[in-house]
Amino acid sequence: MLRRVLSTATAFALLTACSVAASNEPAPGERVVTLVTHDSFAVSPEVLEAFKAETGITIKPLASGDAGEVTNKLVLTKDNPIGDVAFGVDSTFASRALKEGVFAEYASPEARHGAQRYALEPANRLHAVDVGDVCLNVDVAALADVGEPTALADLADPKYRDMLVVEDPATSSPGLAFLLGTIATFGEPNWRNYWGQLAGNGVKVVSGWEEAYTQDFSGSSGKGPRPIVVSYASSPSAEIGDDGTPRTKALLDTCYRQVEYAGVLDGAKNPGDAERVVDFLLSERFQADVPGQMYVYPSREGVALPESWAKAAPLPTSSRSLPAADVDANRERWVSEWRALVQG
């Protein structure tokens, strides 16, 4: 899910991730675990330092693109892993990583506190770290006269012509999640008809979330021309005005559930310490840091969310999803058919 750390918070979170990596360069003989992550991984330095003080383990983040890129790199390097642990393979790509044998079996004792709700298989090769539903986001003020859409089908209405920007599902994790959400909503073959209608209604497609949200979307820092964007249910929490009111809204009836996972890489040079890092990612300390750093919902039960999220970013209760096996079997075909419909 990447990505999503929004507006001015985007730069801050990315700088935080870089500074964490730099400040945790290992000394000779130090125990080091390389954590392969997506580019939007962020954690408070004091949280990493506390883990290091308790365990003697230095976590070295290795940013490797967004969820799709991370998955591709892990598959291509599975015979000689580039790290010990990976975080950021999400539910749209997890089935591929599991089929390719990227991850080793490990049942973290911390999973019983909530991560087990999102388990993909009995072997426990992947543990859920966070949840980030992909939804339509709207610029409330920009749609005041037209009215907000309430369902995916509304976007085909001519009154929303040239208002929607989406991410390419071939290159973007939220873009793929949105495509899967339309397939889950409309089914075969009607999803194709729906995308044909969107193409005829002026949908704009860009390569990734950063471009869509911070350049084309009118409700964030770029103040672009389009008031409807594919983003996350949590995104409005970073768009709160001086009066305390969110400037944007996530349409919770349009969401597709996306879960991000972590696991020990098969063939890791340091599997024992890698398991400790997976435990850490599921721990109460790390999970409490997740909303403020990566703008997603923690997988652990009972973790308090920032106060502003209750109003601006409630967790959707009825998000769509597709079985992982169906996604794995059809992903490439669906993306290819989407490309023919929308991009010609």
Indicate the Cα dihedral angle 281, 283, 288, 290, nearest 10°. 10
Question: Does residue 321 share a domain with residue 218?
Answer: yes
Q: Is residue 215 part of a domain?
A: yes
- Reply yes or no on whether the pLDDT at 4 is more than 80: no
Question: Does residue 186 share a domain with residue 319?
Answer: yes
Question: Does residue 318 share a domain with residue 197?
Answer: yes
- Least-confidence region, from 16-25, 197-206, 252-261: 16-25
Cα separation of 225 and 239, whole Å?
17
Q: Is residue 326 part of a domain?
A: yes
Predicted pLDDT at 245: 87
Q: How many CB atoms lie within 10 A of CB 100?
A: 14
Question: Does residue 182 share a domain with residue 94?
Answer: no
Question: Does residue 322 share a domain with residue 201?
Answer: yes
Question: Does residue 154 share a domain with residue 220?
Answer: yes
Q: How many domains in the chain?
A: 2
Question: Does residue 31 share a domain with residue 90?
Answer: yes
Task: HSE, CB side, 13 Å, CA atoms: give it for residue 29.
Answer: 0
Burial class (CB in 10 A: 0-12, 13-18, 19+), 203: buried
Q: What percent of the chain has pLDDT over 90?
A: 71
Q: Is residue 238 part of a domain?
A: yes
pLDDT digits (tens, 9 = 90+) for 122-165: 999 999 999 989 999 999 999 999 999 999 999 999 999 999 99
Domain residues for the domain of 302 are 7-131+258-312
Question: Does residue 66 share a domain with residue 173?
Answer: no
The CATH number of the domain where 326 resides is what? 3.40.190.10
Q: Is residue 1 part of a domain?
A: no
Question: Does residue 262 share a domain with residue 171?
Answer: no
Predicted pLDDT at 311: 81
Peptide bond into 298 cis (omega under 30): no
Predicted pLDDT at 21: 43
Question: Does residue 289 share a domain with residue 169?
Answer: no
Indicate the Cα dihedral angle 217, 221, 225, 229, nearest 10°. 10
Question: Does residue 174 share a domain with residue 263?
Answer: no
Whose tokens are 């012509």? That residue is: 161
Contacts of 326 (CB under 8 A, 6+ apart): none
Q: Is residue 146 part of a domain?
A: yes
Query: What pTM did the predictor assign?
Result: 0.81
Question: Does residue 85 share a domain with residue 57?
Answer: yes
